[in-house]
Structures are given as C-alpha cells and as structure tokens.
C-alpha cells in the first residue's frame, strides 16, 4: 500500500481503551476506510455491492468504495459479531428507508430492529450482514450513502477527545441530539463518528476489525507528531 508515501492511509485500530491528550487543534484528516473480517471476501463484496450500492475499484480485488471511503475485506473465518465491540456498528442512509426495508425483507436479510421514526432525529432500523456486522440504516437526506460509525466506550468523552486529538474533525451534535465528531475534508466524503457509553471489547477480531483515516503527510511524520 506504500505506507510511507504522502497521502497514505493511517490505520485507526480502535482498542477500546483510549486517553484524551490535550494540545493544539489537530488538522482534520480525511476519513478513509473500514476493514471487515469475513470468511470469503468475494462474497462480502458482492453482498455490499448489491444491497448497499458499493462501487468496485481496481486497486485491489474485492474492494468497494462508498463515496471516497473504502470497504476492505480481511479473510477470516473467526470474526466475532461487531455488536458490543469498540466499533459497534456502521450506518448507511437511504432516501426511502421503507422501500429499502422491503428489499431487505424480500432478500431474507436479517432485520434485528424494524424501522421506526425517532422524533427529532430520523427514521431508522437495524439489520445484520451474513458475517456479523451490525448495520444501522437511516433516512437522513442531509447525508445519503455511508453515514456513520457508532463506537462504544466506558467514557465517551475520552473517546471523543482521543478522536479529535489524533484525527481532528469537528465536535458536533447529530441533529442537535447525539454527541459526535464530524469529518469533512475537501474532496472526500463526510462521515459521522458517534460514541455511546458502554463496556466494549477491542474491535480487532470482530466483524468490524478497524477503521482508518488518510494521512496528508508521510505516515512516519504523522505517527511521530
């Protein structure tokens, strides 16, 4: 992947125990990728392409793009469900959630929470992919497509502080209700990172293994700062 060249990927493996470090404002890094553990990457790529609209790219086999964010699939037959890990679930937004839920139901996709309207927020539901990734599906016209990552930690303030310190971003409330960090970088898709309070296992080895940002400098310089 050329880890030491300019504009390389900075992996953000989330271990669940993070300490906020006070300091100068960190420049916002573009959000880059999500790594999922699946037994057969080709099957997972086909599934996400068909049901979530991922776009094939040629930089590696069975890799998808959602906007400017990569979905990368690691071959593993032992991935544990994402729910309850430090990276609990991923979120997608659709213009017509009711229609999408009918599609999911017809395809036999596991629906764990039926669609419901949350006053002041948006309509939402939860489904699960065949390999244990929990997926929230929402109807948020302000950001369609890949929408958010929802993390867990015993102290959300520490997690948010750690994200801001390491990867920049802007602290905001999603719809004025949910504490979050928003990543907006010129030429890249926007992404919400939400954090809920709860005990969590390290994400490595779960269905959502880790998430990553893109360094705007050499990776060596970024790590040493």
pLDDT by residue (tens digit) across 149-160? 999 999 999 999
pLDDT by residue (tens digit) across 82-126? 999 999 999 999 999 999 999 999 999 999 999 999 999 999 999
Q: Which residues of 120-144 are buried (b: 16+ CB within 10 A; e: fewer)?
A: eebbbbbbbbebbbbbbbbbbeebe
Torsion-angle region of 97 (φ positive above 0: left; ψ -120 to 50: alpha; else: beta): alpha
pLDDT band for position 174 (cuts 50, 70, 90): very high
User: Does 23 have pLDDT greater than 80?
Assistant: no
For residue 148, CA distances in Å to 3, 39, 121 come to 26, 24, 14
> How much is the pLDDT for 143?
97
pLDDT band for position 221 (cuts 50, 70, 90): very low
Residue with tokens 């960190």: 26
Residue with tokens 């993070």: 18
Q: To the nearest whole number, what is the mean pLDDT of the chain?
A: 88
pLDDT band for position 215 (cuts 50, 70, 90): confident
Out of 8-22, 106-120, 202-216, least confident range: 8-22
Token readout for 203 is 């994400």
Estimate to the nearest angstrom the gap between the alpha carbon of 21 and the chain centroid: 23
pLDDT by residue (tens digit) across 49-75? 999 999 999 998 899 999 999 999 999
Task: Assign 3-state DSSP to the chain and report helix, strand, coil percentages, each to 5.
Answer: 20, 40, 40
Handedness of CA 54, 109, 103, 189 (dihedral sign): negative
For residue 111, CA distances in Å to 114, 117, 143, 149 come to 6, 16, 22, 19
Give the predicted TM-score (pTM) of the model.
Answer: 0.87
- How many degrees, rounded to 5, is the angle at CA 156 between CA 83 and CA 183? 85
Estimate to the nearest angstrom the gap between the alpha carbon of 118 and the chain centroid: 21
> How much is the pLDDT for 39?
98
> How much is the pLDDT for 119?
94
> How much is the pLDDT for 3?
30
> How much is the pLDDT for 24?
54
The average pLDDT across 165-184 equals 94
Candidates 14, 15, 12, 37; CA nearest to 133 is 37
Q: Are 64 and 56 in contact (CB under 8 A)?
A: yes
User: Does 223 have pLDDT greater than 70?
Assistant: no
pLDDT band for position 19 (cuts 50, 70, 90): very low
Domain at 9-13+25-145+200-220, CATH from 3.90.660.10, 3.40.50.1100, 3.10.180.10, 3.40.190.10? 3.10.180.10
């Amino acid at each position: 992947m050329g880890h030491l060249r300019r504009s390389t990927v900075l992996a953000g493996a989330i271990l669940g125990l993070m300490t906020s470090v006070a300091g100068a404002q960190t420049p916002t890094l573009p959000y880059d990728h999500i790594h999922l553990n699946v037994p057969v990457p080709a099957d997972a790529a086909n599934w996400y392409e068909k049901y979530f609209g991922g776009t094939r790219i040629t930089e590696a086999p069975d890799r998808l793009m959602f906007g400017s964010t990569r979905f990368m699939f690691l071959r593993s037959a032992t991935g544990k469900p994402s729910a309850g890990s430090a990276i609990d679930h991923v979120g997608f937004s659709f213009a017509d959630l009711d229609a999408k839920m009918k599609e999911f139901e017809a395809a036999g996709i596991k629906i764990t929470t039926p669609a419901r309207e949350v006053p002041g927020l948006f309509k939402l539901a939860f489904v699960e992919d065949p390999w244990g990734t929990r997926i929230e599906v929402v109807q948020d016209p302000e950001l369609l497509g890949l929408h958010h990552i929802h993390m867990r930690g015993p102290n959300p303030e520490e997690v948010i502080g750690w994200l801001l310190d390491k990867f920049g971003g802007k602290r905001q409330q999603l719809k004025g209700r949910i504490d979050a960090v928003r990543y907006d970088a010129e030429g890249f898709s926007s992404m919400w990172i939400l954090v809920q309070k709860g005990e969590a296992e390290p994400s490595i080895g779960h269905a959502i293994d880790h998430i990553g940002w893109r360094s705007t400098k050499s990776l060596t310089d970024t790590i040493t700062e």
